[in-house]
Amino acid sequence: MNSITIKAYAKINLGLDVIRKRPDGYHDVSMIMQTLNLYDTLRIKKTKSKSLTLRSNLHFLPTDRRNLVYKAVELFHEKCPIESGLNIHINKSIPVAAGLAGGSADAAATLKGLNNLFNTGLSLNELMAIGVKLGADVPYCLLMGTALSEGIGEILKPLPHMPDCYILLVKPSVSISTKYVYENLRLDGNNISHPDILTMISALEEGSLDKLSSHMDNILETVTAKEYPIIEKIKEIMKDRGALTSLMSCSGPTVFGIFNDKEKAESAYSYFKSSRYGKQIFLTKPYFPKE
Ligand code: ATP
């Protein structure tokens, strides 16, 4: 095999709780993750030279060591030396810096792709051990599906599949720094309410989309809602237009809405497409890898 094409899927956080700030500066989290049927496509090609060349359809995306794909190749190479050069093309569809883990998904897909292309036979756990060095979300992006993510994101437990639904994504044109959001999160405030992750898990076990939706929550909104009113506004509109619920994914700024009705989802999608609330709007569904 001389080349491989692999999809890198976006994720949202159906629930995101921060338990505590650790002495090392990281945060212990408890999150329910869900893969979406929205993906970047990576084409990895062997070349005769010894070098790595990265290209992408987005001119502003770095193609050097700052790109997680580049770092993923280097770390894979440390574990399994590759006797070949590589050309990698990343076709990005996942909005960048959006709270959808696009970079982590690309890194995870690169590790999987290289493992297949070079027949290196690394297990999922071995790939995850490489992945966590690239970012806390990378192990989940290797696992995919519906999962509980704890620790800094590296302790993963598969959960029953999220019930079928339509998921509307709207990314407003604001940039939110993940670092800023975590630094400004106050866990000691009197009126901070933590998402009920355990009840969400029982809703998944019961297969109840209504119960699941009614408990979806993201503690990071306590920071972003104050700073970026557009996030609350998009949430309100989604709910007015029939979403069971709506919340921000990860540290934002993408807002998602959960719909059980196709027509309402499509009508809300059209509304946002013709509105000024965001340029990047997608109507998608949960995605589950073939088992
Ligand atoms: P998360 O949900 O994990 O917080 P995100 O969706 O907010 O991630 P990314 O799209 O992963 O953010 O991008 C964050 C930063 O990472 C960007 O500033 C971008 O320049 C850099 N980056 C490095 N590699 C990639 C990649 N392959 N795709 C997208 N961004 C990348």
End residue of a domain, out of 127, 158, 189: 158
Beta-strand ranges (E) seen in 48-144 are 52-56, 85-91
Q: In terms of domains, do 154 and 172 share one?
A: no
Burial class (CB in 10 A: 0-12, 13-18, 19+), 164: exposed
Question: Number of structural domains, the chain?
Answer: 2
* Number of other residues whose CB lies within 10 A of the CB of residue 93: 15
Please identify which residue in the block is written with the tokens 């355990």.
198
| Residues 34/5, Cβ–Cβ less than 8 Å | no
CATH number of the domain to which 110 belongs: 3.30.230.10
End residue of a domain, out of 158, 191, 216: 158
Q: What distance in angstroms lies between residue 114's CA and the mean position of ligand 1's atoms?
A: 20
Instruction: Report if residue 289 sits inside a domain.
Output: no
End residue of a domain, out of 158, 178, 210: 158
Q: What distance in angstroms lies between residue 190's CA and the mean position of ligand 1's atoms?
A: 33
Q: In terms of domains, do 179 and 47 share one?
A: no
Residues with CB under 6 A from ligand 1: 61-62, 66-69, 90, 96-104, 106, 137, 178, 250-251
Domain range for 232: 166-284
pLDDT at 190: 67
Residue 221 CA to residue 219 CA, distance in Å, equals 5
Question: Ligand 1, atom 25: nearest CA belongs to which residue?
Answer: 103
Instruction: Report if residue 196 sits inside a domain.
Output: yes
For the chain, 291 residues long, the average pLDDT of each consecutive 10-residue run is 96 97 90 98 94 95 96 96 93 96 98 97 96 95 98 94 98 90 85 92 98 97 91 97 97 96 98 93 96 70
Which residue numbers are catalytic? 11, 137
Q: In terms of domains, do 47 and 154 share one?
A: yes
Q: In terms of domains, do 122 and 186 share one?
A: no
pLDDT at 11: 98
Q: In terms of domains, do 134 and 36 share one?
A: yes
Whether the model clears a pTM of 0.85, i.e. scores above it, the answer is yes
